[in-house]
A = this chain, B = another copy of it.
Amino acid sequence: MRFGVLGTGVVGRTLGSKLVGLGHEVTMGSRTAGNASAVTWAASAGDGAHAGTMADAAAFGEIVVNATSGGGSLEALGAGAASLPGKVVVDVANALDGASGFPPNLLVANTDSLGEQIQRAFPEARVVKTLNTVNADVMVDPGLIPGGHAVFVSGNDASAKATVADLLRSFGWSEADIVDLGDITTARGPEMYLGLWVRLFGHMGTTHFNIRLVRGA
Q: Which residues of A contact B (CB under 8 A)?
A: 100, 105-106, 109-111, 138, 144-147, 149, 152, 179-182, 186, 188-200, 202-206, 208-217
Contacts and interface: CB of A to CB of B under 8 A. Distances in A.
Contact of A110 (B110, B206, B210, B214): B110
Kindly list the 3 A-B residue pairs having the minimum CB-CB distance in the complex, ordered from nearest. Answer: A192-B195, A208-B216, A189-B196
Query: Copy number of this protein in the oligomer?
Result: 2
Contacts of A180: 203
Given A110-B106, A211-B213, A189 B179 contact: no
B204 A215 contact: yes
A173 to B, nearest CB: 14
Interface of A, helix, strand, loop or mixed by DSSP: mixed
A186 B199 contact: yes
A62 to B, nearest CB: 29
A203 to B, nearest CB: 6
Given A100-B111, A206-B216, A210-B214, 18 more contacts: A105-B110, A106-B110, A109-B109, A109-B195, A110-B195, A144-B216, A147-B214, A188-B199, A189-B196, A189-B199, A191-B195, A193-B195, A204-B213, A209-B214, A209-B216, A210-B215, A211-B212, A212-B213
B110 A216 contact: no
User: Interface centre among A179, A195, A197, A210, by most B CB within 10 Å?
Assistant: A195
Contacts of A203: 179-181
Contacts of A216: 138, 144-146, 206, 208-209
B181 A214 contact: no
Contacts of A181: 199-200, 203
